[in-house]
Amino acid sequence: MKRFVILICLYTLFLSGEILAQKPDNHSKGFISWCRENKIATGLDAGISIGSMGIGLEVKTPVTKWTDIRAGIDWLPRIDVPLSFNLNTFSDGIPTGNFNKVANMLYENTGIKMDETVHMTGKGSMVNFKFLIDFFPKPSNRHWHITAGFYAGTSMIAKAVNTYEEKPTLVGLNIYNRAYEYFTNLKSIYNVPLLDPEKVKDLQKRFKEYGRMGMHIGDFKDGTPYIMDPAPDGTLSARAFVNHFKPYLGAGYSTDLDKGKRWHFSVDIGALFWGGAPNVINHDYNTGKDINFTKDLVNIRGKVGTYMKVVKALPVYPVVALQFSYSIL
């Protein structure tokens, strides 16, 4: 698709150059008059648009009887979406339901209070430069057009991070899991300094009973549960990525709004090919690998699962834009 759109753009530019290189049939007329008569590179429109790509600014000029060229910038303002995960305890990936016991144990030993639900905020935004070529099948009717071109811009289109209020809970989770790994893998109860062996023995028993803590986000394709942990600094985050270069194909309709044909209105509908469904990536610090929620996981839970269904349903991004423009030349 990317090569196809590039070829269309190059062909159109080549065709424009060929026409502009032709000499006027009537040598008594100047070249500028001939261009105006044939509606070639004779004007410049400036416009503002609003739609699924956000708010846009662009300029447009006719290059041949059949084509206009548009260029500009689209900005999708930041959209915040609430997310949440429930904490639980697990043994071999099976929930043990001991969150309250762990929370009480952690508070008794550290004074840290944990919340069972971890809240996050998903933040989406895009900025793209666009270069589009409108083709008019009938030069005598410059209302309906077919559009090909590309958008180029941000690759990271969204990220999700924990809210500030969740930091104590996430730090407490890391402290508990470090202690869990230490005491469940301890070879001798007499090897812990400053602690009575009987206390160590009790802690071992409790850790093994309670299990490790984390967030069951979803399952790997082989059925293994994916338990997400915070980063070492006590933060949670995930990021959504698409291609920098995004080919576009679409169609539209434009019309004049005044008798002087200075004000214009247009509607465009099309598809942005941004590289398949966005990749939602979380770095797993336990394994040192990136986990792709889009490709690696199934049965994703809660609101995150609902949002991921939407993400997976968008291998192309639908574009709808309404534009008002004014002829400044």
Supply angle C-alpha 34, 35, 37, rounded to 5. Answer: 65
Cα–Cα nearest to 74, from 52, 90, 96: 52
Q: Read off the pLDDT band of 40 (50, 70, 90).
A: low
Res 86 pLDDT > 50: yes
Distances (CA, A) of 110 to 86, 90, 138, 168, 228: 22, 22, 76, 11, 23
Instruction: Round to whole Å and give the CA distance between 107 and 319.
Output: 51
pLDDT of residue 41: 62
Residue 275 tokens, joined: 């590289």
For the segment 88-108, the average pLDDT, to the nearest whole number, is: 92
Distances (CA, A) of 95 to 51, 91, 101, 277: 44, 6, 14, 31
| Cβ count within 10 A of residue 213 | 24
Instruction: Round to whole Å and give the CA distance between 135 and 205.
Output: 74
Res 247 pLDDT > 60: yes
Residue 319 tokens, joined: 């574009």
Name every residue whose Cβ is closer than 8 Å to that of residue 173 and which is 6 or more positions away in sequence. Answer: 87, 114, 213, 214, 229, 230, 234
Task: Give the position of tokens 């160590």.
Answer: 200
DSSP string for residues in 295-321: HHEES--HHHHHHHHHHHT-SSEEEEE
For the segment 141-150, the average pLDDT, to the nearest whole number, is: 93
pLDDT of residue 20: 44
**8-12, 263-267, 291-295, range with the lowest pLDDT:** 8-12
Res 329 pLDDT > 90: no
Tens-place pLDDT, residues 257-270:
998 889 999 999 99
Residue 195 CA to its chain's centroid (Å): 50
Tens-place pLDDT, residues 17-26:
444 444 444 4
Instruction: Round to whole Å and give the CA distance between 45 and 42.
Output: 10
Q: Residue 31, class by beta-carbon neighbours within 10 Å (0-12 exposed, 13-18 middle, 19+ buried)?
A: exposed
**41-50, 179-188, 286-295, range with the lowest pLDDT:** 41-50
Cα–Cα nearest to 87, from 195, 168, 200: 168
**Ordered alpha helix ranges (H), 234-328:** 293-296, 302-312
The segment with the largest mean pLDDT, out of 179-183, 245-249, 298-302, is 245-249
